Amino acid sequence: MNTLRRRPLVLTLAALALAPLAACSKKEDEAAAPRAARKPSGIEAYAIAQRGHGFTVGAVMAANTVYVFFDTTCPHCAELWTASQPLLNRLKMVWMPIGLLRPQSGPQGATILAAADPAKAMTENETSVMARGGGISVPANLPDDIVQKVKDNTALFQQLQAESVPLIVYRHAVSGEHGLYAGALDSAGLATLVGL
């Protein structure tokens, strides 16, 4: 009889372990910032994201810009980075690193921002993360102003009352509606989300 009781539990746990995750978040008990009473609307969130610091990839003359808050240690951020590549001929994206998940997140984000070619550094980091590596190597000396930019991005992320990365802040190209989406998407899903 004990075997019958355990079997459904084991199957449930196995099913949960195989369920795909779309975003990474920090445990609630580890969250340090207090939350405001009201979450920002989509248009307010877009204005907040515009104050962030990141690097731009894609079509510079695109009709609108999509902002992505990411953590260098998040595999879902790496998936979104990869999925976005085929759309960059029609989409302008600003990738903004934050320090959320691990102690190395902030320094690695600053390393990417400080790189001569941030997109190349991002690809190196995301390739490592997808291969279950440690991400990009952090130099001994990071400029203080770049480290501060990652801290500022993290504060903006908290102002948005977001809980997981990647966080996509966008304006739909057709409807003009502003919104936020937490999680990874494939190329088609991202194109649909932003109205391409």
pLDDT in tens, the chain (196 residues): 444 333 333 333 233 333 344 656 665 444 444 555 688 999 999 999 999 999 999 998 887 899 999 999 999 999 999 999 999 999 999 999 999 999 999 999 999 999 999 999 999 999 999 999 999 999 999 999 999 999 999 999 999 999 999 999 999 999 999 999 999 999 999 999 999 9
Q: Where are the domains of the chain?
A: 43-194
Return d(Cα 108, Cα 110) in angstroms, integer.
5
Handedness of CA 175, 185, 160, 52 (dihedral sign): negative
Beta bridge partners of 56: 94
CA–CA dist 113, 64 (Å, integer): 22
Buried b (16+ CB within 10 A) or exposed e, 79-109: bbbbbbeebeeebbbbbbbbbbbbebbbbbb
- Three-class SS state of 182: strand
* Superfamily of segment(s) 43-194: Glutaredoxin (3.40.30.10)
Residue 57 host element (H or E): strand 55-58
